[in-house]
DNA sequence: TTCCTTGCAAACGATTTGCATTGGA
DNA sequence: TCCAATGCAAATCGTTTGCAAGGAA
């Protein structure tokens, strides 16, 4: 999906909810399209050189999450990072550096993904839990920290 | 491993570090041995009916993590839950409820675990990243929230 | 006695919210 | 025009820390 069509999809989604695709929201989305991993509010704030106030970034993140455009990344201590939802960005997993905390996306080929899917379904069928999604976090050291 | 031998292993580990296995630390460990998933500081605080001050719980968690007895579960927004480290509790994965945030342990059989291992190694070999551990989080709804 | 540990309260960092103002359809 | 969205500052929430008192070796 091109960056342009992504913005279009997102604008549609917001309009369906009677919300506007404002410049703050566009900035957040644009940064996340470019980024190679999820970003936190303060990382976005830095990315914008402080031009967008933190409170506006937080409010944008709330709205974009509520409308299913962004998803929180469950993988960092003490802060929340966000990324584009799967329908926009495709399924993938993460590397998480145990030293510097950086998070990087990683693509997974179909063969492996199918075996993970099978495993998730098999496991969930044994307990009272309805699986909706899964996330494989690979913890280790990134090139810089190794 | 029995609960008794767990406490013994843990006490040894602390003594090696010239630290004491105090009652606050014992309470935290005991609660995590019993729990069917990782717990946060405030969940532990509730568990103890407020008898152990939050600051002591936090300090216990820090010490127990530094000595490799507990591992943080990087999960839900804004708070950190802890669980016994793998050498005490064995490898497993998690169900995370997207509504209430509850986290529950789930065992994985060897066959499936081997395929996840293979996948992690394969993926990591393609990029400059040294894998140390991995966590498969299955997101969905728990019985109560379904 | 010595030093680790605790309890309380104040300090902190990330996130949220009240309110008056701005801005987009 | 009208109401969503913003900016600022104050409030909250989870977590950390300084310091004096308590407790185990």
pLDDT at site A28: 98
List CB-based contacts (under 7 A) with strand C. Answer: A 20-23, 40-42, 54-55, 58-59, 61-62, 78-80; B 14, 18-20, 22-25, 52-53, 55-56, 59-60, 63, 77-78
Q: Is residue B37 pLDDT above 70, yes or no? A: yes
Residues of A in contact with B119 (CB under 8 A): 108, 112, 115-116, 136
pLDDT at site B127: 83
pLDDT at site B91: 94
Contact A81, B98 (CB under 8 A): no
Q: Is residue A1 pLDDT above 80, yes or no? A: no
Tell me what the pLDDT averaged over chain A comes to.
91
For A64-102, the pLDDT digits (tens) are: 999 999 999 977 778 899 999 999 999 999 998 887 778
Give the global pTM.
0.90
Cα(A126)–Cα(B48) distance, rounded to whole angstroms? Answer: 31
Percent of chain A with pLDDT over 70: 100
- Mean pLDDT over B79-101 rounds to 91
- Mean pLDDT over A6-34 rounds to 96
Residue B105: which of B38, B30, B28, B40 has the closest Cα? B38
Q: Is residue A38 pLDDT above 70, yes or no? A: yes
- Mean pLDDT over B81-95 rounds to 94
What's the Å distance between residue B89 CA and nucleotide D6 C1'?
Answer: 49
Q: Is residue B76 pLDDT above 70, yes or no? A: no
pLDDT at site B21: 97
- Mean pLDDT over A105-132 rounds to 87
Percent of chain A with pLDDT over 90: 62
Looking at per-residue confidence, does B28 or A96 come out higher? B28
- Domains, in order of start, for chain B: 1-90 (1.10.10.10), 91-146 (3.30.1490.190)
> Checking DSSP bridges between strand A129-142 and strand A93-97, what pairing results, if any?
parallel
Looking at per-residue confidence, does A84 or B139 come out higher? A84
Looking at per-residue confidence, does B31 or B127 come out higher? B31
Comparing A13-17, A47-51, B118-122, the range with the smallest average pLDDT is B118-122
Lookup result for tokens 């717990």: B39
Tokens of B78: 């804004």
Query: Which of residues 85 to 144 on A have a Cβ less than 7 angstroms from any strand D atom?
Result: none
Tell me what the pLDDT averaged over chain B comes to.
91
CB contact (8 A) between residue A74 and residue B93:
no
Q: Is residue B125 pLDDT above 90, yes or no? A: no
Distances in Å between the alpha carbon of A94 and those of B72, B80, B119?
A: 17, 19, 13
Neighbouring CB atoms inside 10 A of A85's CB total 17
Buried b or exposed e, range B41-60, using 16+ CB within 10 angstroms: bebbbebbeeebeeebbeeb
Q: Is residue A8 pLDDT above 90, yes or no? A: yes
- Per-residue pLDDT band for A112 (boundaries 50, 70, 90) equals confident
């Amino acid at each position: 999906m091109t960056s342009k069509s992504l913005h279009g999809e997102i604008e549609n989604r917001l309009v369906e909810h009677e919300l506007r695709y404002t410049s703050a929201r566009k900035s957040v989305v644009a940064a996340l399209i470019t980024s190679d991993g999820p970003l936190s509010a303060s990382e976005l704030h830095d990315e914008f050189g402080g031009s967008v106030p933190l409170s506006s970034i937080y409010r944008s993140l709330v709205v974009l999450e509520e409308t299913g455009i962004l998803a929180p990344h469950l993988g960092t201590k003490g802060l929340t990072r966000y990324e584009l939802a799967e329908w926009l960005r495709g399924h993938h997993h993460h590397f998480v550096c145990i030293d510097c905390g950086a998070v990087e996306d990683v693509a997974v080929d179909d063969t492996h993904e199918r075996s993970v899917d099978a495993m998730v379904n098999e496991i969930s069928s044994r307990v009272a839990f309805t699986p909706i999604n899964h996330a494989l976090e690979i913890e280790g050291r990134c090139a810089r920290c190794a």
